[in-house]
Structure formats: C-alpha cells, structure tokens
Amino acid sequence: MAAVQTLRAQAKARGNLRSGPQITVTQASPQTIVIEPANPNVVYVPEYNSSLVYGTPYVTPGYTAADVAASALLGFGAGIAMIRSRRAAACGWGWGAWNAN
C-alpha cells in the first residue's frame, strides 16, 4: 500500500490527480491520499496512460525484440530436448510399448 500512496503522491504532484465529477480526492494525512467516488452508488473505472500520469519509469527494461525472440527459441528448444530425453529414458513406458498401435 505504500507503493500505491507513493504513486498517488506523484500523480498529485504532477497535477494529474484531482477531484472531479466522478471522484473526490482528499489528503487524509501527509502520507495518505484517499480517492472515493463522488456518488457512492456509481463507481467509475479509470482509464489512463500510466507514463503520462506518473511519468516515465525510473528503470526501463533494456530488452530488444531479438533478445525476446532468442530467449523464446532457447526455452522452446530446451523443452523439446527435455521431452525427448524423457521419452528415451522411459524404456517402454508408453502407449507404443503395449503394442496397442
């Protein structure tokens, strides 16, 4: 919950978190920002671009499309190798071992 309050404080400092027709924003204490619906019978689900509201992240992942593709291929290849080794080590444990064809 501390992270939620930190993000709310960042959004409020940037001027992106304020009361309006749908919500009421109050500062309950220096560390707590409360967001409540203006009408308790109606709850609105917000839609927003987080990088515009909070700012760009401090640490951005440095992955490229090639990095993602390479890790996917390596993971898939390792999975296939494991399946093949398990089948070779099974020594007749399977449907074909019963000559059921």
Q: Which pLDDT tens digit goes with each residue over 47-84?
A: 888 777 777 766 657 788 888 899 999 999 888 888 87
* Structural domain of 11: 2-54
Residue 18 in tokens: 């304020």
Q: Does 47 share its domain with 71?
A: no
Q: Tokens for 45, please give them.
A: 């689900």
86 and 43 in a single domain? The answer is no
Same-domain check for residues 50 and 70 = no
101 belongs to a structural domain: no
Both 48 and 79 in one domain: the answer is no
CB 11 within 8 A of CB 53: yes
Quick check: is 20 in a domain? yes
- Coil, helix or strand at residue 18: coil
Whether residues 6 and 34 share a domain: the answer is yes
Q: Which amino acid is at 17?
A: L
Domain annotation covers residue 22: yes
Cα 82 to Cα 30, 88, 95: the distances in Å are: 55, 10, 19
Q: What sign for the dihedral angle of Cα 87, 88, 91, 95?
A: positive
The reply to whether 50 and 6 lie within a common domain is yes
pLDDT of residue 99: 62
pTM over 0.75: no
